[in-house]
Amino acid sequence: NAGVTQTPKFQVLKTGQSMTLQCAQDMNHNSMYWYRQDPGMGLRLIYYSASEGTTDKGEVPNGYNVSRLNKREFSLRLESAAPSQTSVYFCASSTPGPSSYEQYFGPGTRLTVT
């Protein structure tokens, strides 16, 4: 049981390049989330997917797109990377409803945009 996995672990992009961050969970969770964390700051929600087939914007969605490929996988795409998107990106998953107090987080992807 791997929990939440993220690929890649590290990435360096040039301004204007595109890339997709991958996230997968094997806990049969319905809900998945993407957060970013800038140095010295708390996490901020980018997008989330309450269930397969649905996605919604979080606090900071500009410059990102997401795809809930199936129940297990939730990807985050940067179409034209900017230096302001240099951050650590965390994916998380949880169960819905009254017991959705516990989110499980992946190890993060450290992205640098030059």
Cross-sheet strand order for the sheet of 74-78: 4-7, 19-25, 74-78, 64-68
Cα dihedral 110/30/69/44 (nearest 10): -30
Which residues, at least 6 apart from 29, have a Cβ–Cβ distance to it below 8 Å?
A: 93, 94, 95, 104
Nearer to another protein by C-beta: 14 or 102? 102
One of 5, 55, 58, 63 touching another protein (CB under 8 A): 58
Q: Structure tokens of 40?
A: 């010295």
In the complex, the smallest distance separating the C-beta of residue 103 from another protein, rounded to whole angstroms, is: 6
Q: Contact between 11 and another protein (CB under 8 A)?
A: no
Nearer to another protein by C-beta: 16 or 107? 107
One of 17, 50, 52, 86 touching another protein (CB under 8 A): 50
Nearer to another protein by C-beta: 17 or 50? 50
Nearer to another protein by C-beta: 53 or 101? 101
One of 56, 77, 83, 84 touching another protein (CB under 8 A): 56
- Report the b/e string of 74-88 with b at 16+ CB within 10 A: bbbebeebeeebbbb
